[in-house]
């Protein structure tokens, strides 16, 4: 997969993408990530990428020309998505990440200031994505989250691919509680059922815990799960 990030701050991504599973995946060329700065496509000596909104208002908007030229400078693979990270977009979830992981190319536009000229949305972007119902200082943070969520789904990133099948949201429910050594920590014991070696009983307990945890923490997910279950 090819991922291109349109960002005013390419240095923002250096450390997170060089560490842990992300660093290993990129070193193995499971995905390639490139960075393009819209300032390189300005034509004034101040390399200005923002301006005041027509009609007045608070703050500045990112201008369309540098963003269009930045995207147009990239090679276009047949199956690509041009994504604007914005609070107005579709909420990012696991199903969306799995869909994006099937693409050949993702182009991520990181918004800044008060947003972008609407013509970028209407004539350049193919999808708008939001990290949640809140506002951040920049689009680089949700872009990094999206990259992490997509790349970890690509074959070869996670050592045990089966582990991806038993995570929160993969079956429509939250994950069950898990424990490791020591068996007794400060008087808190591991549930005895996990120690009896009876895998059918353990599987049943874990399923019950998934349902209980989802009911307590995310009743909306449980309702959706119950509606979609045969």
Question: Rounded to an integer, what distance in angstroms lies between the CA atom of residue 156 and that of residue 24?
Answer: 10
Question: Rounded to an integer, what distance in angstroms lies between the CA atom of residue 185 and that of residue 87?
Answer: 42
pLDDT in tens, 180-191: 999 999 999 999
Cα 58 to the chain's mean position, in Å? Answer: 29
pLDDT at 160 over 80: no
The whole-number pLDDT of residue 185 equals 96
pLDDT in tens, 6-36: 999 999 999 999 999 999 999 999 999 999 9
Cα 107 to the chain's mean position, in Å? Answer: 13
pLDDT in tens, 39-93: 999 999 999 999 999 999 889 999 999 999 999 999 999 999 999 999 999 999 9
The whole-number pLDDT of residue 204 equals 97
pLDDT in tens, 193-219: 999 999 999 999 999 999 999 999 999
The whole-number pLDDT of residue 166 equals 56
Mean pLDDT is lowest, of 76-80, 105-109, 132-136, for 132-136
List beta partners, residue 106: 3, 81
Q: What is the DSSP letter of 116?
A: B
Which string of b and e fits 37-74 if b means at least 16 CB within 10 Å? bbeebbeeeeeebbeebeeeeeebbbbbbbbbebbeeb
Domain 2-151 belongs to what architecture?
3-Layer(aba) Sandwich (3.40)
**Which three-class secondary structure state does DSSP give residue 65?**
helix
pLDDT at 161 over 70: no
- Pinpoint the residues of the chain covered by CATH 1.10.1270.20: 167-228
Q: Does domain 167-228 have CATH number 2.60.40.10?
A: no
Provide the edge-to-edge strand list for the sheet that holds 105-110: 32-36, 2-6, 105-110, 80-91, 127-130
The whole-number pLDDT of residue 167 equals 59
The whole-number pLDDT of residue 209 equals 96
Confidence of residue 155 (pLDDT cuts 50, 70, 90): very high
pLDDT at 154 over 90: yes
- Pinpoint the residues of the chain covered by CATH 3.40.1280.10: 2-151
The whole-number pLDDT of residue 168 equals 58
pTM of the model: 0.89
Q: What angle do CA 147, 67, 100 make, to 5 degrees?
A: 25
């Amino acid at each position: 997969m090819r991922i291109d990030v349109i960002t005013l701050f390419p240095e923002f991504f250096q450390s997170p993408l060089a560490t842990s599973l992300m660093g290993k995946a990129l070193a193995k060329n499971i995905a390639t990530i490139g960075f393009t700065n819209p300032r390189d496509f300005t034509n004034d000596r101040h390399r200005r990428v923002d301006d005041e909104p027509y009609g007045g208002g608070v703050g500045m908007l990112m201008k369309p020309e540098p963003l269009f030229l930045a995207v147009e400078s990239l090679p276009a693979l047949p199956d690509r998505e041009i994504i604007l990270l914005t609070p107005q977009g579709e909420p990012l979830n696991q199903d969306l990440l799995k869909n994006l992981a099937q693409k050949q190319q993702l182009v991520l536009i990181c918004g800044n200031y008060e947003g972008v000229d609407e013509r970028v949305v209407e004539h350049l972007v193919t999808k708008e994505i939001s990290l949640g119902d809140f506002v951040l200082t920049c689009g680089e943070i949700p872009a990094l989250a999206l990259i992490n969520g997509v790349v970890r789904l690509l074959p070869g990133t996670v050592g045990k691919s089966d582990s991806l099948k038993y995570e929160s949201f993969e079956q429509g429910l939250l994950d069950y509680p898990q424990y490791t050594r020591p068996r007794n920590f400060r008087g808190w014991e591991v549930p005895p059922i996990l120690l009896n070696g009876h895998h059918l009983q353990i599987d049943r307990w874990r399923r019950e815990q998934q349902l209980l945890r989802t009911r307590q923490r995310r009743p909306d997910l449980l309702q959706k799960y119950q509606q979609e279950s045969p």
